[in-house]
Structure 1
């Protein structure tokens, strides 16, 4: 049983992970925050994909873990303790090698955490090796040699090169001025039919038909109308406009998807080596992104556009019964199966019910933007879905029919986890309930 936790039907996953992590001791300190909990990137890059593997172990997924599975999750982390301790030791050596090499590009945790885990399994504790420093240096060199030409620095140089700027600006202008007229069409039954079955019995033939008939493109016809794209949370403007080329980007301050420069659109995908290695060269990425920015849903593949249309309809009603979206594409009185599942997941979140019940005068300590997004999560859902689809396009990853529900459900889970953590931090600072 988890130390310090009262028995109940389920245990918050974050609390359970933190409790098990604390038993690993100082050996994993380089992978921990100041409070001794695993870093967010430790969970994202190590614990989830390599230790707990929630995709293969659904019992470990979600915000809470059933009491029957608490000991199994705890034991999985404890069993990985030696490998995680060796990972932490390798990470220290790799960071020293990085400093010696004078490398400043990229976040060390993004770049090296998973490589250090590989080193831990290949070589064990680096303290037992005479050549550990050489292995660390070779690892750093290897990471930065892989797709070395595909880097944030080279992207910035390419976009700001005076010899290219005029040509790229012209390409951007032509892409936007030569956009075909929107394909207006009445909503067909295909989207609803697929949403009714995608969680339980997805139909590959219907999935293919939705793409073959450009259903996603047709669903984008209204995005240029005032207030439609902003109603989906995809832009802060009244209607989408052509992006700038851009010359800088910050992951902490990225605008909404349709408001991002070409630099900002590509920037996020450059921050991890395992994403960069699947992408094309910089010139191809930039010219492809220019064309993509002018396409329906600002996505290049019809499959992605169909997914945005499915996400639009599946997320209708998250803010309450009156939310039908700017185009009224989904009938909240008769939700599809996928829509009902998302609504159920959202409505059973305790923090959601807490935030919805707060009168505004009693919640002055909660940032207005956070409270607004908890009360209307459709925008965060659509933005996160767009970002995931955009990344898949950059890495040339297709989506099969049986992956659609996992993608939609995963996006909402991600929104829930992010907002829950943000709200908890605010309330903890204010001394309120959490």
Structure 2
């Protein structure tokens, strides 16, 4: 039996598997060969739609307090009919997908939550199931916009490959080092109140004074971008055009090829329509990689500088006030952080590295968030800034918590 503090607890993964087993063959399409829920079932259905760990924080950790064990089991078993209908809808959508010869995207990623919505709204598939499935497929796949297949075809076409390689080399060679921050531009003043009352005039001044560009002045020096967690290299190197990419193995931001930088946004079927055509995306990305912070817009560069300053408070002494103090308070509330820092020798090395490397993880996630907004021409405003900064830390925390939970579940007795 595991324990959290002084309260007895049981492994979450074991409890979920036990409750899932009671649902039987009805949920087989959502299960693995061992009869447990698929990892994507947990990530896309059970966690966000059934267990809801944000509303039930006791369900979020790797171990569940004894007095909440029955509640967790009940959430899953009570959802049994909806989960069974979800599994049935998934089979219908996969069949309709095959009939339409759709090959793009992972069906689980694309359809699991839509199947749950169908199950909640309509129960088990009825006589009109094929029609409803067709509507979902048309909504998911029928949106206009560039695709990963189109990206690969464009960059590997012999008619384009040479030109793109020459353009990338010329753009990188013409890159100029940013100048230092001008006197009078204060990121600290903006961060002091941005969570409650963002100063639009001050944010505009930071953009006008090129504070974001100036904040990238040292990123080309040995070890600086490495310390920021944006690369694994001592010196930032020019990217390649690339040909392929995988979400599971994406390098750090500054180490990604042009294809890898565009891959994740192109796999988001719900937002592809907001993107430029493939040739424009590629050429703009080639120009972007040679800019300060490898971004094109000054607003985004300012956000990176503000995020760098605010996230400095995640390690070391507790900040007194402002955005840094708020981020630190969120971080310090995490039980897994206390556990790792209190007994570092008792946790796996990877988990310890996650906690100690939170600032680097934060800056990586912030860069990805800002880069994605740029691709959609979605400029971050002063009023949105705090939500972006806070949301990035929340995302990092959820990822780390999930990895810790997975480690604990693997180590727990079955």
Q: The residue matched to 1:315 in structure 2 has which SS?
A: helix
Of 258, 264, 267, the residue aligned with 1:268 is: 264
- For 2:197, the equivalent position in structure 1 comes to 201
Contact 1:373–1:379, Cα closer than 8 Å, also in 2: no
User: How far apart are the structure 1 equivalents of 2:42 and 2:193?
Assistant: 32
Aligned to 1:92: 91
- Asked whether 1:277 is paired with 2:276, we answer no
Contact 2:51-2:75 at 8 Å conserved across structures? yes
Aligned equivalent of 1:243:
239
- d(CA) in 1 for partners of 2:87, 2:200: 44
1:314 equivalent in alignment to 2:310? yes
Q: Which runs of 5+ in 2 are unaligned?
A: 65-69
**2:322 aligned with 1:337:** yes
Q: Which moved more, 1:39-48 or 1:416-425?
A: 39-48
Query: Residue 245 of structure 1 contacts residue 262 of structure 1 at CA under 8 Å; is this kept in 2?
Result: yes
Contact 1:83 1:117 in 2 (8 A): yes
Query: Could you tell me how far 1:357 is from its partner in structure 2?
Result: 3.9
Is the Cα–Cα contact under 8 Å of residues 146 and 278 in structure 2 kept in the other structure?
yes
Name the residue aligned to 2:129.
132
Alpha-carbon separation, structure 1, partners of 2:113 and 2:193? 36
**Residue deviations 1:34-85 (CA, integer Å, cap 9, x gap):** 798876655765678778999xxx86789689xxxxx999999999877665
Q: CA deviation at 1:314?
A: 0.9
Matched, 1:380 2:331: no
The structure showing larger relative contact order (alpha-carbon pairs under 8 Å, at least 6 residues apart) is: 2
3-state DSSP of counterpart to 1:150? coil
Give the drift of 1:157. Answer: 1.0
Computed over aligned residues only, the root mean square deviation of the Cα atoms, in angstroms, reads 4.1
Cα separation, partners in 2 of 1:76 and 1:358, compared to 1, 3 Å: closer
- Answer yes or no: is 1:347 the counterpart of 2:352: no
TM-score normalised by L of structure 2? 0.81
Deviation at 1:259, TM superposition (A): 0.2
1: distance between equivalents of 2:107 and 2:82? 19
Residues 375-422 of structure 1: per-residue CA shift (max 9 Å, x gap): 221111111111111112222223233322222122112222222222
Change (3 A) 1:214 1:378: same
- 1:145 aligns with 142
Rate the CA distance shift 1:387–1:171 in 2: closer, same or farther, 3 A.
Answer: same
Instruction: State how far apart, in whole Å, the 2-side matches of 1:357 and 1:256 are.
Output: 29
Give me the whole-angstrom Cα distance separating, in 1, the residues matched to 2:73 and 2:362. Answer: 31
Q: Give SS of 2:146's match.
A: coil
Corresponding residue number in structure 2 for 1:232? 228
Q: Which residue of 2 aligns with 1:422?
A: 403
Q: Structure 1, residues 79-108: CA drift from partner, whole Å, max 9, x if none?
A: 987766544432221112223444332111
Indicate if the aligned counterparts of 1:318 and 1:377 stay in contact, CA closer than 8 A: yes
- Match of 1:192? 188
What secondary structure sits across from 1:244 in the alignment? coil
Q: Decide whether the 8 Å contact of 2:199 with 2:382 is kept in 1.
A: yes
Residue in 1 that maps onto 2:179: 183
Shift of 1:356: 2.7
Following TM superposition, by how much is the alpha carbon of 1:232 offset from its aligned partner in structure 2, in angstroms? 0.5
SS in structure 2 at match of 1:300: coil
In structure 2, distance between residues paired with 1:107 and 1:87: 17
TM-score, scaled to structure 1: 0.77
CA distance in 2, matches of 1:390, 1:267: 12
Name the SS for the 1:316 alignment partner.
Answer: helix
How many residues end up aligned between the 2 structures?
404
User: 1:75 and 1:428 mapped to 2: Cα distance?
Assistant: 20
Q: Is the 8 A contact 1:29 1:36 kept in 2?
A: yes
C-alpha distance in structure 2 between counterparts of 1:24 and 1:135, whole Å: 29
- Which stretch of structure 1 is more off in the superposition, 113-122 or 200-209? 113-122
